[in-house]
A and B are shown apart, each in its own frame.
Chain A
């Protein structure tokens, strides 16, 4: 590693869709988005490396542009993401220790996992500075999955992989990149509503405090709304766009699960920290719908704001695609986070 790139392709390999963005780094710490694309995977087909490779190839064809390297972020149900507290240990040593003593350190057999870890910066309010303990984020993915992703990227004709990380980590980095003031000075709640699952991350002044995955995503939400209203998917989406009162009430009911989980997480965080969450930063497909954000805010009694990692970037996509980029940018946070991290290394 240690190689500096001037242009990187961020690739978000999700369970429902593939998203990519090409970001160039220019002088004066400027980041420019030059190309982007997304490709919805066929849910009926098993996501083999070959299928993913085809999807990547199709997406790259649609996107155009080229980059020196590829930063990949992956969402996977078997992905391992833990916060562990350890005495200060070099990350290389801890990585080997996790590999050899996964059961002891993570209470999980990690023999078939590829693991990596990094030190999480600790804020003064955490109280860990005094007791000498450090917090480390441990991320892992089954070895087979890593190999499959490498194979898929190779088959898809993407540039060589510079980094491979988990989507929540990429989103956390993207938030730091896009909202540095909120990241550095206050507590924050990040909610990424994916297709099948959602990720919640709570942090306070640079420190990652809590990560949670819940099996509730956009797919479950729409299915609930369809069940409650008895309407088709498109009708439901149109009704939400039109602020249909009945559909709003249905949405309130359909989002009960996620609002409850969010409240629990906030309660956990505020119980451990003398700090309050004042705002929820929402990303993902659901964030595109203002009605749902409003409902979520009303239920949680705090503002829910959609954010995109591309906010801090200059947009230099073709004029014909600018409108599309404005719509899709909320989905590209993970890809942008992966790319900007690789560019910043």
Chain B
């Protein structure tokens, strides 16, 4: 077994102590952390600069787009008004009441001895159910003109009652007239009548298909005689 002598042990130990000196290691660690922090700082600075650049770019873009946006907003208001108007018009058109079928049914039940002198009608727009009022004034002639007028009211009641709900057809006035008329060569007395018809419709009616044009009934020869 060789004799192991090492006179360099103190220097070697001092070097090891120096190499693993806690203060030195701490300083190295601190330095490392410092370098990391500086690196992190510069990275953050770089990120911040990028964000700032982007922000300034966006600001410029915003400055450019803001007048356009204001103009677009104005346009939007205008277009909205136009759209509202158009939609209300469309609605009004879509929800309009078609008088033609009503008139068709009324004209179908008018007998030859009756002459309509005035007719008015109104419909409340925008309400459901919709109430429709029709006022008919006219002259009924015959041996019993009141019966003719009453038959007309009943026919109206019957015919329109088939198609409309809550129908009421009542006389507002039924007055004898001094006028006399000639019907088919015979003289007949007359009455002036005014019938008020009212009924409701629950759904907005769609535009009816155009009905084939029926030949108009031959109008009776009613000649007013005084």
A interface, CB within 8 angstroms of B: 1, 72, 74, 114-118, 120-121, 137, 139-141, 143, 146-147, 150, 161, 163-166, 169, 172-173, 176-177, 206, 208, 341, 344-345
Contact = CB atoms under 8 A, between A and B. Distances in A.
Which of A74, A121, A341 has the most chain B CB atoms inside 10 A of its CB?
A341
8 contacts: A114-B7, A114-B9, A146-B11, A150-B11, A163-B5, A163-B6, A173-B2, A344-B2
Interface in B1-26: 1-12
Contact of A164 (B1, B2, B3, B7): B7
B7 A141 contact: yes
A146 B7 CA distance: 7
A150 B6 CA distance: 13
Contacts of B4: 118, 341, 345
A137 B7 contact: no
Nearest to B2: A173
Nearest to B15: A160
Given A121-B1, A206-B1, A1 B11 contact: no
A1 B3 contact: no
B11 A116 contact: no
B6 A165 contact: yes
Contacts of A1: 6, 9, 12
Nearest to A345: B4
The listed residue with most A CB atoms (<10 A of its CB), out of B5, B6, B9, is: B5
A120 B6 contact: no
B3 A208 contact: yes
B7 A165 contact: yes
B7 A341 contact: no
Given A114-B7, A146-B7, A165-B7, A341 B2 contact: yes
Interface in B136-167: none
A161 B2 contact: no
Contacts of A341: 2, 4
Of residues A116, A140, A206, which shows the largest number of chain B Cβ atoms within 10 Å of its Cβ? A116
A254 to B, nearest CB: 33
Contacts of A72: 8
B2 A177 contact: yes
B3 A172 contact: yes
B56 to A, nearest CB: 59
A197 to B, nearest CB: 19
Of the candidates B6, B7, B12, the one having the most CB atoms from chain A within 10 angstroms of its own CB is B7
A139 B9 CA distance: 12
A15 B11 CA distance: 23
B5 A139 contact: yes
A171 to B, nearest CB: 11
A338 to B, nearest CB: 10
Contacts of A173: 2-3
B8 A161 contact: yes
B5 A116 contact: yes
A208 B2 CA distance: 11
Contacts of B6: 1, 116, 163-165
